[in-house]
Structure 1
Amino acid sequence: MKPEAVVFDIGNVLLEWNPERFYDASIGPDRRRALFAEVDLAGMNEGVDLGAPFAASVQALAAANPKWAAEVMLWQDHWIDMASPPIPATIALLRALRAKGVPVFALTNFGRETFAFAQTRYDFLNEFDQAWVSGILRLVKPDPAIYAVLEAECGVAPERLFFTDDRAENIAAAGRRGWQTHHFTSAPGLAQALVSAGLLTESEARP
């Protein structure tokens, strides 16, 4: 069954997300490992993805961890450096689909404020036909409820949705709802999956 629309995850599919790399460059790998072991940066970020205010969340975590306050504040001051660089080959696939008139959606675990900020830096984040952002919905993948919201609002039957995400648990949740899925590991792999699904030709999928 040929899909009617493509749903993209964003982090590590269209845009690299690698806080560890940023901190390794900023404070060194050893201090970064100690920081991440002692301070729940990941948990704070998950809260932002669920709709908590970005700056207040970072500042509260810094205040709760005075030993690491300066390092924690780097998350606020240099967030965009962690959400970089864009992945050109995948963005090219998004644009190739749009050029053919295929609806292109986003389903992403992303903070409300950080997504809006990223849109000012990365044009491709403004090119979706519609985006479902966890921080706005206050739901995160792989919660089935976030997939249900997209299904209810997009106008495309679940079995006609083609979804790509780098996290296996998010792909599995979509698959249980009948979506067609591709576990993203590389842009060439996604290109071939889109060709196999009949959404792009080989030449259209070529970078």
Structure 2
Amino acid sequence: MAAKVVVFDFGGVLIDWNPDYLYRKLIPDEGERRRFLTEVCSMDWVVRQDGGELIETGTAELVARFPQHESLIRAFYARWHEMIGGVIAEGAALVEKLEAAGVPLFGLTNWSAETFPYAWDRFDVLRRFRDIVVSGRVKLVKPDPAIYAEMFSRIERHVPGVAAHDLVFIDDNIKNAHAAAALGWHGVHHTSAAATEARLRELGLALGT
């Protein structure tokens, strides 16, 4: 049975987000930069803001823990837009192919509610989706099954009678793809647009030539 609906992650699939774009300017030494982004402004800390914690709260807590790095910590969200490289063209092209084929498209992203509007206002590709679950707005983060349940309930409103096996979820984080698969979705670990497109064709989605 062919898949019917495609759900996209955004960062790393459609939007080029990388803290190094900013911190290469602030911490030129690669070793020091890696330590800072691993031990201070770590992904675990970022996920807390993605899960709905206020940026002001998360920043203040981190500054209290690492006062020697205050300016670098505050730069993370004060200059967050400098971490955005723009739209990933190959990913956007895949969205266009699916849209042209009439495939219902949805978004499921771990993203702070406070920074998401910046991307929404600037990147038209994000407006191609029938609905988007932003983790910071629902205060849930992937790979928590609850955020997939929220996404599924929204898809049902647009596609009545949809089943888990009708859904494809594309994410550059393999844990998130596996979490979707555990719920009966088709989880696709995104490593390149070409590989993802090939997998979508295997799942029966008509993408043209």
Is the shorter-chain TM-score for this pair beyond 0.5, marking a shared fold? yes
Residues 195/38 of structure 1: CA separation in 2 closer, same or farther (3 Å cut): closer
Aligned partner of 2:123 in structure 1 is: 122
**What is the letter of the counterpart of residue 173 of structure 2?**
R
**What is the letter of the counterpart of residue 36 of structure 2?**
L
Residues 66/165 of structure 1: CA separation in 2 closer, same or farther (3 Å cut): same
Cα displacement (A) at 1:114: 1.1
Note if contact 2:7-2:169 (Cα within 8 Å) is conserved in structure 1.
Answer: yes
Residues 55/200 of structure 1: CA separation in 2 closer, same or farther (3 Å cut): farther
Q: Secondary structure at the match of 1:85?
A: strand
> Which deviations, in whole Å up to 9, do the C-alpha atoms of 1:31-75 show, x marking residues without a partner?
313423542442331111110112442344235422111111221
Bigger mean CA deviation after superposition, 80-89 or 24-33: 24-33
Cα displacement (A) at 1:26: 3.1
Is 1:58 the counterpart of 2:59 in the alignment?
yes
Aligned partner of 2:7 in structure 1 is: 7
Aligned partner of 1:23 in structure 2 is: 23
Cα displacement (A) at 1:102: 1.1
> Which deviations, in whole Å up to 9, do the C-alpha atoms of 1:157-200 show, x marking residues without a partner?
11100111111111111111111121100011112122222323
Tell me the distance in 1 between the aligned counterparts of 2:68 and 2:204.
54
Instruction: Give identity over the alignment, percent.
Output: 37
Residues 18/137 of structure 1: CA separation in 2 closer, same or farther (3 Å cut): same
Q: Which runs of 5+ in 2 are unaligned?
A: 157-161
- The aligned runs of 1:135-146 (5 Å cut-off) are 135-146=136-147
Is 1:165 the counterpart of 2:171 in the alignment?
yes
Is 1:199 the counterpart of 2:205 in the alignment?
yes
Note if contact 1:184-1:190 (Cα within 8 Å) is conserved in structure 2.
Answer: yes
- The aligned runs of 1:82-101 (5 Å cut-off) are 82-101=83-102
Residues 91/55 of structure 1: CA separation in 2 closer, same or farther (3 Å cut): farther
**What is the letter of the counterpart of residue 119 of structure 1?**
W
Bigger mean CA deviation after superposition, 78-87 or 30-39: 30-39
Give me the TM-score of the superposition, normalised by structure 1. 0.89
> Which deviations, in whole Å up to 9, do the C-alpha atoms of 1:131-162 show, x marking residues without a partner?
01111111111111111111222112111001
Across the aligned residues of Structure 1 and Structure 2, the Cα RMSD in angstroms comes to: 1.8
Q: Which runs of 5+ in 1 are unaligned?
A: none
Aligned partner of 1:68 in structure 2 is: 69
Moved over 6 A (4+): none
Note if contact 2:106-2:131 (Cα within 8 Å) is conserved in structure 1.
Answer: yes
Aligned partner of 1:104 in structure 2 is: 105
Tell me the distance in 2 between the aligned counterparts of 1:38 and 1:145.
28
**What is the letter of the counterpart of residue 122 of structure 2?**
R
